[in-house]
Structure 1
Amino acid sequence: MKKSTIAVGILAVLGAAGYVGYTSMFGAKAVVVSADSLEQKFATYANPEAFVSTQDVKDMMDKGEDVVVIGALNPMKPDAPISGSFTLWRPDYSAAEGEYAFDGMRNSVDDMEALLSSYGATPESTIVVYAANSHHDAARLFWQIRNLGHEDVRYLDGGLNAWIGAGLPTGDANPTVAKTDYVAPAPQTEVNTLATLEMVLNAQNASDWVILDTRGTAEFDGSTTVSGAFGPGTIPGSVHINWTKALNEDTTLKSAEELQALYGDVIKGKKVITYCQSGVRSAHTQMVLEEVLGAEGVYNYDGSWIEYSHAHYEQKRADIPVQSGAKQS
Structure 2
Amino acid sequence: MKKSTIALGAIAAAVAIGYTTYNSMFSTEAVAVDESVLATKLSEYANAESFITAEQLKALMDSEEDVVVIGALNPLRPDSPIAGSHTMWRGDYSAQSDAYEFGGMRNTTEEMEALLGHVGATPDSTIVVYAAGSHHDAARIFWQVQNLGHEDVRYLDGGLNAWIGAGYATGNANPPVKATSYVAPNPSAQEETLATLDMVLNAQQDSDWVIIDTRGDDEFNGTTTVSGAYGPGKIPTSVHINWTQTVNGDTTLKTAQELKDLYGDLIEGKNVIAYCQSGVRSAHTALVLKEVLGAENVYNYDGSWIEYSHEHYEQNNQDVKVSNGNS
Paired with 1:15 and 1:234, the residues of 2 have a C-alpha distance of 40
Q: CA deviation at 1:80?
A: 0.5
Give 1:20's aligned amino acid. Answer: T
Counterpart position of 1:54: 54
Q: Deviations over 1:209-244 (max 9, x none)?
A: 000000000000000000000000000010000000
Distance in 1 separating the partners of 2:283 and 2:27: 23
Q: Structure 1 residue 15: deviation in Å?
A: 7.1
Task: Give the equivalent residue in structure 2 for 1:69.
Answer: 69
SS in 2 for 1:163: helix
Q: What amino acid sits opposite 2:289 in the alignment?
A: L
| 2:272 maps to amino acid | V
Corresponding letter in the other structure for 1:188: S
**Equivalent in the alignment of 2:216:** 216
Moved more, 156-165 or 57-66: 57-66
TM-score normalised over the length of structure 2 = 0.94
1:95-244 paired onto structure 2 within 5 Å: 95-244=95-244
The residue that corresponds to 1:293 in the other structure is: 293
Aligned residues: 314
In 2, the alpha carbon distance for the partners of 1:265 and 1:19 equals: 48
Tell me the secondary structure at the aligned position of residue 291 of structure 2. helix
Separation in 1 of the partners of 2:17 and 2:244? 32
Give the drift of 1:17: 8.8
Give the distance between the partners of 1:189 and 1:16, measured in 2 at CA: 46
**C-alpha distance in 2, partners of 1:231/1:284?**
24
* C-alpha distance in structure 1 between counterparts of 2:266 and 2:74, whole Å: 33
SS of residue paired to 1:39: helix
Q: CA deviation at 1:64?
A: 2.7
The aligned counterpart of 1:20 is 20
Max Rg structure: 1
Distance 2:95 2:250 in 1: 32
Paired position in structure 1 for 2:10: none
Partner SS, residue 269 of structure 1: coil
The alpha-carbon deviation at position 77 of structure 1 amounts to 0.5
Q: Distance in 2 between matches of 1:157 and 1:212?
A: 23
* TM value normalised by structure 1: 0.94
* Unaligned stretches of 5+ residues in structure 1: 1-13
C-alpha distance in structure 1 between counterparts of 2:192 and 2:106, whole Å: 15
Aligned to 1:266: 266
Deviates more, 1:179-188 or 1:30-39: 30-39
Corresponding position of 1:3 = none
Question: How far does residue 194 in structure 1 lie from its aligned partner after superposition?
Answer: 0.2
Question: What stretches of structure 2 of length at least 5 have no aligned partner?
Answer: 1-13
Equivalent position of 2:308 in the other structure: 308
* Offset of residue 91 of structure 1: 0.5
- Per-residue deviation, 1:24: 2.1
Distance in 1, Cα, partners of 2:20 & 2:255: 34
Q: CA deviation at 1:38?
A: 1.3
What's 2:93 paired with? 93
Q: Which one-letter code corresponds to 1:160 in the other structure?
A: L
Cα deviation for residue 21 of structure 1 reads 2.3
Q: Distance in 1 between matches of 2:149 and 2:215?
A: 28
1:44 aligned to 2:40? no
Structure 2 SS opposite 1:320:
coil
The alignment partner of 1:312 has SS state of helix
Q: Kindly state the Cα deviation for residue 16 of structure 1 after the two structures are TM-superposed.
A: 11
| Structure 1 residue 20: Cα displacement | 2.5
